[in-house]
Amino acid sequence: MAHPPSDILTITLNPAMDMSTGVDAVRADEKLRCDAPVLDPGGGGINVARVICRMGGRATALVALAGYRGQELAALLTREGVPTEVFELNGETRLSLAVTDRQAGNQYRFVMPGPVWTQTDVDALCDRLQTAIQPSMQVVLSGSQPPGVPDGFPRMLAGITRAQGAILTLDTSGAALAVQASDLGAAPDILRLDGAESEALAGRRLGSLHDVAGFARELVGKGYARAVVLALGAEGSVLATAGTLLHAVTPPVPVASKVGAGDSFVGAFTLTRAQGGDWSDALRHGTAAASAAVMSPATELCRDHDLRALLPQVKITQL
C-alpha cells in the first residue's frame, strides 16, 4: 500500500509475530493450560513506529515480511494505523512466544527462526531504500539482523542515508553491532546500546555511571557515531555528543514487563528530534517512554498517558 511521504522511516529486517500468554506455573512434562494469547506485531523498527504513532506522530514502517504469518502481521499494523511498506521475502515470518509464570513471577521468551536472506534480497532492499529515503528524513534501523544479511549492512544503509541527506539512528545487536566500534562500522548519526551491548562493545565491565559516560564519550570521540545513547535499565540513560554529556532517570516505577522499553525509548527520542527538540528534550522523552513501557504488560509498549505523567518527573543531570 502506498502512503504519503513521512519524516520518519523505520526499518525492520527481522520482524516477528509476538504471541504472549500466561500460565499458573511452568512445569516440565505437563500439559500447560495457557490464557488466551495476545498477538502483537513485533520487531525493533515496527515497535518504534508503533510508539511514534501512539504519541500522535507519524512514521512509516518498512518491514520485511514472508508467508502467511507476514500477512497476518501486516494486517495487525494496518488495524493499529501504522503506515507500512512491505518488502516481500520467501519463507515464513518469525514467531516469538512470551509465557508468564504467575506463580514464580517469571517470563519465558521463545523465538523461532525466520527467513534466510539471499544476496539478491539484500540488493533488492538497497534499491528500494534508494527511493524510500528522502532528504532530512529520520531513518531508524532497529532490531536484529536475519541470517544472510551481511554484518556490514548498517554501513551500506549509512551510505544511502548520507547520500540522501537523511539522519540515521542505529539500534541493532550481535555481529552487526560488534563492528560499530571499528572503522568498518556505520558511523551513524545516533547509536543506541543497552547495558549488555555496551559492555560487549567495550570489551569490559562498565560498573558505574562514570564508566558508562566515559565509554559513550569515547565512542563519540573516535567518530563511531555523532551521538551515543547508552541505556542503564532502571538507572535511566546516558547521552553523549561532541559537546554534551547528559544522564536522565525517572523515579522507580512498578515493573510489569521489560519487553519494548528500548524500542519505546527510540520511538519517543526520534519523534522529539523530528519535531525539532534538542538533545536534552529528546533524552527526556525517551527516558519517560522507556519507564512507561516497563509499566505496561506483555508486549504492549509504552502507553501515552503513562509517558506524559512521567515526563515532568525525569531528572536530567549534566555530567
Does residue 263 have an active-site annotation?
yes
Give exposure, 125-137, as e/b (b: 16+ Cβ within 10 Å).
beeebeebbeeeb
Strand ranges (E), 115-274 = 138-142, 167-171, 190-193, 227-231, 237-240, 245-249
Q: At what angle do helices 209-221 and 195-202 cross, to 10 degrees?
A: 60
Find the catalytic residue in 24, 263, 278, 306. Answer: 263
Q: Within 13 A of 256's CA, how many CA atoms are on the CB side?
A: 16
In what side-by-side order are the strands of the sheet with 315-318?
Answer: 84-89, 60-66, 8-12, 138-142, 167-171, 190-193, 227-231, 237-240, 245-249, 315-318
| Intra-chain end-to-end CA distance of the chain, in Å | 46
Which residues are known to be catalytic?
A: 263
